[in-house]
Amino acid sequence: MSQVQKLRLNMDEINEDFFEDTRLLGIMAPLKSYQLCLQLNGLLGYQFRLNTDIDIHVRKKDRNYYFSVYQSSEANSFLEHYLYHNQFDGEYLLPEFRHIDFLWLMKGDFVDDEKCQFIRQTVNSIVGVQLVVELTNEQIKNKGNMIF
């Protein structure tokens, strides 16, 4: 008889790999996703577009929730920008940040403090944006919700 061996995913390791060398901004802005992306594209020269291939699907309380993700690639770099909408139909992608409307993840290449600060200041200048704060990996309790 052959034995069936169960394999388990090490979620801590997956989370650690996904968030390695990333920067994450939390944005409080009661704007529509497309409105914020249009402003970001114009002010910072990005090309945020809705990427339905990486929408986040979360199942809670026998209901399905879909969180949109916008993506922009940076020219001549491996750096990718992802803008997550943190709220859908009364649920939150990251419930520990209920006051945050959007999450901006920078991943794939190093982002220095100067560039991150410039992005924060520029986003903060957008009409309707109330707060832009950098979040640390330690603050995120539900990291697995952001992995696509």
Q: What is the CATH number of the domain that holds 22?
A: 3.30.310
Q: Is the pLDDT of residue 1 over 60?
A: no
Q: For residue 78, what are its two tokens?
A: 């491996």
Range of the domain at 115: 18-146
How many domains, in total, are found in the chain? 1
11 is a domain residue: no
Nearest residue to 121 via CA among 38, 43, 45, 21: 43
107 is a domain residue: yes
52 is a domain residue: yes
Q: For residue 95, what are its two tokens?
A: 């419930």
Global pTM reads: 0.85
Q: Calculate mean pLDDT across residues 33-62.
A: 93
Q: For residue 96, what are its two tokens?
A: 């520990």
Per cent of the chain over pLDDT 90 is: 69
59 is a domain residue: yes
Check residue 51 and give its pLDDT.
95
138 is a domain residue: yes
Q: Is the pLDDT of residue 146 over 80?
A: no
Q: 61: alpha, beta or left, given left = phi > 0 and alpha = psi -120 to 50?
A: left
48 is a domain residue: yes
89 is a domain residue: yes
